[in-house]
């Protein structure tokens, strides 16, 4: 298994992986154009030439970053794929000077194991929510806010 930055040729596999979970209500869907626009943010896990896991580090504001769009192929979960991707993105965030890393998730237990703490949504900076206006669940977000201080 290798971990690497995403390339244009990965977009369709990333789209399918994320949106298969989104169809089950387990994460938010992503549009193809959004993936192309944010491709440089993504790290993926590849095994036997197939994308088996993916996530992105999105820089939100001064020293604030988000881990987003984390998805691991069914059958490959609980094998450390997601953990390794988040660790890679966390190190990248540190190198960029991110002080606060957050995730909005339906899987708080996973992030808690990686040192993130659950916080009340009202306690986080408003910049964290700047893209929520475009979400189909806005303003009734049911994701859980998790924060890790770097």
Residue pLDDT tens, the chain, 150 long: 999 999 999 999 999 999 999 999 888 889 999 999 999 999 999 999 999 999 999 998 889 999 999 999 999 999 999 999 999 999 999 999 999 999 989 899 999 999 999 998 766 655 555 555 555 665 566 788 899 999
Spell out the domain ranges in the chain. 2-149
> Is residue 97 helix, strand or coil?
coil
Edge-to-edge strand order for the sheet containing 50-61?
A: 2-5, 42-47, 50-61, 64-72, 100-105, 144-149, 117-119
* Phi then psi dihedrals of residue 69, to 5 deg: 60, 40
| Cα–Cα nearest to 121, from 147, 139, 105, 145 | 145
Identify the pLDDT of residue 30: 92
CB 17 within 8 A of CB 51: yes
DSSP secondary structure code for residue 24 in this structure: T
DSSP 8-state symbol, 83: H
Contact (Cβ atoms closer than 8 angstroms) between residue 3 and residue 44: yes
In this predicted structure, what is the pLDDT of residue 125? 59
Q: What is the pLDDT of residue 98?
A: 97
Q: In this predicted structure, what is the pLDDT of residue 117? A: 97
The per-residue pLDDT for 133 is 53
φ, ψ of residue 93 in degrees (nearest 5): -60, -45
Per-residue confidence (pLDDT) for residue 135, from 0 to 100: 57
- What's the pLDDT at 142? 72
Say what the pLDDT of residue 136 is.
Answer: 61
- Which pLDDT belongs to residue 126? 57
**Where does 2-149 sit in CATH, by number?**
3.40.630.30
Q: DSSP for 107-137, please give it.
A: -HHHHHHTT-EEE-GGGS-GGGGTTGGGSTT
- Predicted TM-score (pTM) of the model is 0.89
pLDDT of residue 77: 92
- Determine the pLDDT at residue 130: 57
């Amino acid at each position: 298994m290798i971990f690497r930055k995403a390339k244009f040729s990965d977009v369709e596999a990333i789209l399918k992986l994320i949106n298969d979970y989104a169809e089950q209500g387990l994460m938010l869907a992503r549009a193809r154009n959004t993936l192309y626009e944010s491709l440089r943010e993504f790290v993926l896990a590849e095994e036997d030439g197939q994308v088996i896991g993916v996530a992105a580090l999105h820089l939100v504001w001064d020293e604030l970053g988000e881990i987003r769009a984390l998805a691991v192929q069914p059958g490959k979960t609980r094998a450390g794929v997601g953990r390794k991707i988040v660790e890679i993105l966390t190190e990248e965030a540190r190198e960029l000077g991110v002080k606060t890393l957050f995730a909005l998730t339906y899987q708080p237990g996973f992030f808690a194991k990686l040192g993130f703490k659950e916080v009340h949504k009202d306690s986080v900076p408003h910049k964290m929510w700047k893209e929520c206006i475009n979400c189909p669940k806005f303003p009734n977000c049911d994701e859980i806010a998790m924060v890790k201080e770097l």
